[in-house]
Amino acid sequence: MEDPSSSRSKSSIEELMAAYQSGDQKAANALIECVSPALYRFFALHSGDRRHADDLLQETWIRIHKARHTYRFGEPLLPWLYAIARHVKIDAYRKRRHERYEEPLKTASDQLVAAAGDKNELPDLDTLLQHLPASQREVIVMLKISGLSLEEAARATSCSVGSVKQKAHRAYEKMRALLAGSNDSTRQVEPT
């Protein structure tokens, strides 16, 4: 399976989308197979719940199907897809925010230390990303995990390139601070 962020793959997914628009079911299936892992990861990193991520992915493909006629061939496809995915995520958040209950507040360092387990082990990326605000997490997933360019991420989030850069910079700073805090916490626990 090709990485949807590679340049060769970008042109082929755009061709798949054009064929899908003209009613080619095989192209639709190939597009879904190619892009779904990246979209699933986008949702999984935001929700932390696999079933919820599956539901969001399914809803995204339903919306893509309904809106497929609006895609303009020649335009980058990934920003268009991520914009739809982002709107699905926002709509789901609005529906679910009334269902959530408050949880006891733990500091990010406590959670990172607990997630790391071993004193020499760093927390995984998913754990770090859960501590970022949603807008920063979204930008990091698009830029670093999905491989979108700054311009593509800006188009997908309806932000300026400068805003995307700023969100990414703040996310990097927060992750550095979290990692430094988890390292400090583990050092304090160790006997001297």
Q: Provide φ and ψ at 33, rounded to 5°.
A: -65, -35
Residues (pLDDT < 50) of the chain are 1-3, 5-8, 101-105, 107-109, 186-192
Matching CATH number, 1-101, of 1.10.1740.10, 3.40.50.720, 1.10.730.10, 3.40.50.10090:
1.10.1740.10
Report pLDDT for 24. 93
Distance CA(51)–CA(85), nearest Å, equals 16
Distance CA(173)–CA(156), nearest Å, equals 23
Report pLDDT for 121. 64
Report pLDDT for 186. 47
Show me where the domains of the chain are located.
1-101, 105-192
DSSP string, 1-55: ---TTSHHHHHHHHHHHHHHHTT-HHHHHHHHHHHHHHHHHHHHHHH--HHHHHH
For residue 167, count other CB atoms closer than 10 A to its CB. 22
For residues 68 and 59, the answer to whether their CB atoms sit within 8 Å is no
Cα angle 159, 163, 167; round to 5: 115
Distance CA(48)–CA(184), nearest Å, equals 26
Question: CA torsion, points 174, 176, 180, 185, in degrees to nearest 10?
Answer: 50
CATH for 105-192?
Answer: 1.10.10.10
- Mark out the alpha helices in 68-133 (DSSP H runs): 77-96, 108-116, 125-130
Report pLDDT for 187. 46
Residue 109 tokens read as 């360092």
Residues 6+ apart with CB under 8 A from 54: 40
Question: Can you give the pTM of this predicted structure?
Answer: 0.56
85-112 pLDDT tens trace: 999 988 888 777 755 544 444 544 455 5
Report pLDDT for 156. 86
